Structure 1
Amino acid sequence: MRKVKYRIFLDYDKEEKWVNDMAKEGWHLEKFSVGRFVFVKGEPGAFIYRNEYLGNLSEEEKVEYFALLQDSGATIVHESFNWIYVKKPVNEGPFELYTDASSKIDYYNRLLNSLLIVLIVNIAGATINFSIMGLSNKGVFNLGAGILHLLVAALICIPMVKIDKNKKKLKEQLFE
């Protein structure tokens, strides 16, 4: 039996928690894309799920990383837009992708750099649309597109602020 759920998350930790809550109820993630999750019915609480942003890893680096994960007993559930979900049986004990502060900080930096690019592109898009608004007969379209770009830029700031706070906490732990 399958179940499709539609959810948009700006917080990847909350998304991961939700997927794990679904697994506790016996719904195991099969695949995902932006806002769409497909689950299959299975044994409640059998797996722990983790999500991760791969960033700009080359195909060779991905293959090596996936092999490392599989060697640790984890299974790659699905990959979409450089995000992956990985699962591991609960009976094998705790499952974390990053076990030390410095590697987690590196991960946060990869996330922040990618989000920064998206933020800059959207601010530039808004600026361009607002500046050419009066120069064309499509001013209303440019206004709407500019506003949309600003909204996306504002939404991108939400996870960036949370990631930056988490990164600062980890840095404090390193220097204690």
Structure 2
Amino acid sequence: MKKVLYRLYWDYEKEENWINEMAAQGWHLKKFFFGRFTFTKGEPGAFIYRNEFIIGMSANEKKDYFEFLKDSGITIINELCGWVYMKKSAAEGPFEIYSDTKSKITYYKRMLNIFLLLFFVNVWMGIMNISVFGDSTVGIFNIVVALLIAIPIIKIIQRKRN
């Protein structure tokens, strides 16, 4: 049995929690694509799911990292635009990607840098479109996108501080 659900999350941890709640009900993630999640029915609570932002890795680093995950009993479900979903059997115990504070802070910094870049590019493009090119529709769209990108930036900064 297959189930397709649509959800948009600005908080990757809330998204991950929702996926794990679905798994606890027996719905296992098979694929995701920009807010579209495909699940199949299975044993409730059989897997623990994690998502990770891996932009910034070279092709070789990513290949080595995925091989390391596979050797650790972790299955890569899907990768899209730098976001990766993975699962591990719940019977094998807890599943944490970053278990120490230093690696978690490094992860947050890497994620924050990408989101800040996207934020500033959209602000700059918005200002340029409005003031220089006279296209207020596109400029306003860029500003709205920048404001939406600010949501995960604020959340990442808060988590990094904690």
String of CA shifts for 1:121-158, please: whole Å, max 9, x gaps: 10011111111354xxxxxxx21111111111111111
The TM-score, its normalising length taken from structure 2, stands at 0.96
The TM-score, its normalising length taken from structure 1, stands at 0.89
Give the secondary structure class of the aligned counterpart of 1:121.
helix
CA root-mean-square deviation: 1.0
Q: Give the percent of matched residue pairs that are identical in Structure 1 and Structure 2.
A: 52
Q: Say which one has the larger Rg.
A: 1
User: Structure 2 unaligned runs (5+)?
Assistant: none
Is residue 2:45 matched to residue 1:52? no
Q: Which amino acid counterpart does residue 40 of structure 1 have in structure 2? A: T
Q: Distance in 1 between matches of 2:68 and 2:44?
A: 27
Q: Which amino acid counterpart does residue 9 of structure 2 have in structure 1? A: F
String of CA shifts for 1:42-101, please: whole Å, max 9, x gaps: 111110000000012111111100111111111111111111011001111110000000
Q: Distance in 1 between matches of 2:29 and 2:20?
A: 9
Q: Distance in 2 between matches of 1:102 and 1:167?
A: 10
Is residue 2:28 matched to residue 1:28? yes
Moved over 4 A (4+): none
Is residue 2:68 matched to residue 1:75? no
Q: Distance in 1 between matches of 2:120 and 2:141?
A: 14
User: Structure 1 unaligned runs (5+)?
Assistant: 135-141, 170-176
Query: Number of matched residues?
Result: 162
| Match of residue 138 from structure 1 | none
Q: Distance in 1 between matches of 2:68 and 2:59?
A: 14
Give the secondary structure class of the aligned counterpart of 1:84.
strand
| Match of residue 137 from structure 1 | none
